[in-house]
Amino acid sequence: MTPVLVTGGAGFIGSHTCKALRNAGFLPVSYDDLSRGNAAAVKWGELVTGDIADGRLLRDTLIRHRPVAVVHFAALAYVGESTENPGLYYRNNVVGTLALLEAMRECGVRYLVFSSSCAVYGVPAVVPIQEKDSAQSGQSIWRDQDDMRAHAGRLRRSFPAEMDRIALL
């Protein structure tokens, strides 16, 4: 089976993604610090317990499993908590994502699915929310989706030319 690394794989969305990957013929490898996830939810592949900002463990995991892609769900997503403790969210969501991207670049993993929080859209006027919809101020410290997209574009340009598949969800 072809391995896929799922960060946050012990969480609700991550564990369901692992199940879907396994049913599609992939071998999911969950990477989770278990601060919000549950080890019992990891049923379709191996669990690697570690912090998303631990570049060494990320590299070791990528070298050991050789995944063809990474699905990144290891972000913290509570809006209220993010406004009360922005440092925790910055460290995990920004610094941790950078550590993951650097490890991917060093290990030659070319494909990334990155899931960000829909909380940046606030209470939408129309459902379903579209990618082009504007973020609403005051909902989250991560509300400036345009800045996030610009930052993701800069990160993508730091990868080799052959890394051409980054999906932002």
pLDDT tens column, 127-166:
777 767 766 654 555 444 455 555 566 666 666 555 555 5
**Residue 129: CB partners within 8 Å, gap ≥ 6?**
118, 121
The model carries a pTM of: 0.78
What pLDDT, on a 0 to 100 scale, did the predictor assign at position 84? 87
Q: Within the chain, which residues score under 70 in pLDDT?
A: 116-123, 131, 134-169
What pLDDT, on a 0 to 100 scale, did the predictor assign at position 27? 98
Contacts of 39 (CB under 8 A, 6+ apart): 10, 47, 49
> Domain 2-168, what architecture?
3-Layer(aba) Sandwich (3.40)
pLDDT of 80:
79
pLDDT of residue 169: 46
Which residue shows structure tokens 């570690």? 50
The sign of the CA dihedral 1, 31, 68, 25 is: positive
The reported pLDDT for the residue numbered 14 is 96
